[in-house]
Amino acid sequence: MLIGKPKALPYSLVTSKADYLNRRRFLSTVLAGGTAAAIGGRLAVPEAYAQSGRKLSGLTKSPFSTTEKMNSFEDITTYNNYYEFGTGKDEPAVYAKNFKTTPWTVSLEGEVTQPKTLDMDAIMKLAPLEERIYRHRCVEGWSIVVPWIGFSLSALLKQVVPTAKAKYISFETYFDTKQMPKWRSAGIQLPYVEGLRMDEAMHPLTLLGVGLYGQVLPNQNGAPLRLVVPWKYGFKSIKSIVKIKFVEKQPPTTWNIAISNEYGFYSNVNPKVDHPRWTQAKERRLGEVFRRDTLMFNGYDQVASLYAGMDLKKNY
């Protein structure tokens, strides 16, 4: 089922997105004098490691990890959605290069008995760092498998005491027009905001991501820290978080503000509820030719009980 040779791919079988990566792989293989066997896989990894960021060691393995084949470091770091740094998939890797992520603080505020602001050093010490290999499904119909590093978001949320009114958590991305040259063309309201219901935010699968592939997060992937909610479409996984607010009412979310009939608050991966403009029944794993079936909750069945009794067509 795995790829093989991009140059032999019938173009009709490949979306423009998968196509883009496959062409790049072909090119880099040719340049490196590689063999066709290397094209589909991890050719770029050693090189990418060499030019990459600070290593994170002492990682614990997570029982939540999938055993599916991981996408390469290059796939994960050159095919991104991060509209503050451009709407093209290849733009964040270029325009986020000099994004300043130190010093960095995150505030915990809103419906809490005492608000708190933590810096990255403090956050990194809250819990043992785990490697969690998660499937990641973008609402646009592509998916990747990423070896994230981090720990359950609950470890951070537990640093404050919520009041009885706290029912949801809202998240906000850092925003600076000077550092985000592409912000005007983003076409969405910034700063990027997202939200989760309290039980979703406290679920052990919900990850506070600080790295991937054994190193700190590359800027284009949301450095220095981001959310990763593997059973929801990728846009829920907000990058470069600076503010976490405990709130009483369901908070506004960026894509729901932009196009409310297409992107709801819950946004659980659901092959039975199509996007108004395309099917969600299948997905293309980057690097593969044939589309896979999309799984309910992206295969993370353990969250099903959070939505017992809810109409997931209505709560899309």
Cβ of 305: how many Cβ atoms within 10 Å? 8
Class of residue 95 by CB neighbours under 10 A (exposed 0-12, middle 13-18, buried 19+): buried
Task: Please report how close the Cβ of residue 222 comes to ligand MTE at its closest, in angstroms.
Answer: 6
Q: Check residue 239 for interaction with ligand MTE (CB under 6 A).
A: yes
Q: Which of 22, 29, 71, 81 binds ligand MTE (CB under 6 A)?
A: 81
Structure tokens at 51: 């030019």
Measure the CA–CA gap between 205 and 84, rounded to whole angstroms: 27
Query: Closer CB to Mo ion, residue 80 or residue 152?
Result: 80
Task: Please report how close the Cβ of residue 137 comes to Mo ion at its closest, in angstroms.
Answer: 8
Measure the CA–CA gap between 81 and 17, rounded to whole angstroms: 12
Task: Please report how close the Cβ of residue 35 comes to ligand MTE at its closest, in angstroms.
Answer: 28
SS3 (DSSP) at 130: strand
Task: Please report how close the Cβ of residue 308 comes to ligand MTE at its closest, in angstroms.
Answer: 27
Query: Closer CB to ligand MTE, residue 230 or residue 234?
Result: 234
Q: Check residue 224 for interaction with ligand MTE (CB under 6 A).
A: no
Q: Check residue 221 for interaction with ligand MTE (CB under 6 A).
A: yes
Residue environment code for 131-162, b if the CB has 16+ CB neighbours within 10 A, otherwise e = bbbbbbbbbbbbbbbbbbbbbbbeebbeebeb
Contact 113, 161 (CB under 8 A): yes
Q: Check residue 234 for interaction with Mo ion (CB under 5 A).
A: yes
Q: 219 contacts which partner out of ligand MTE, Mo ion, none, CB within 5 to 8 A by kind?
A: none
Q: Check residue 81 for interaction with Mo ion (CB under 5 A).
A: yes
- E strands in the chain: 60-61, 105-110, 116-119, 130-137, 142-152, 168-173, 193-197, 207-212, 215-216, 226-228, 241-247, 282-285, 292-293
Q: Which of 148, 235, 266, 307 binds Mo ion (CB under 5 A)?
A: 235
Task: Give the binding range for Mo ion (CB under 5 A) out of 27-35, 70-78, 231-239, 292-300.
Answer: 231-239
Q: Check residue 138 for interaction with ligand MTE (CB under 6 A).
A: yes
Which residues of the shown chain bind Mo ion in the complex (CB under 5 A)? 81, 138, 234-235
Which residues of the shown chain bind ligand MTE in the complex (CB under 6 A)? 80-84, 136, 138, 173, 192, 221-222, 234-235, 237-240
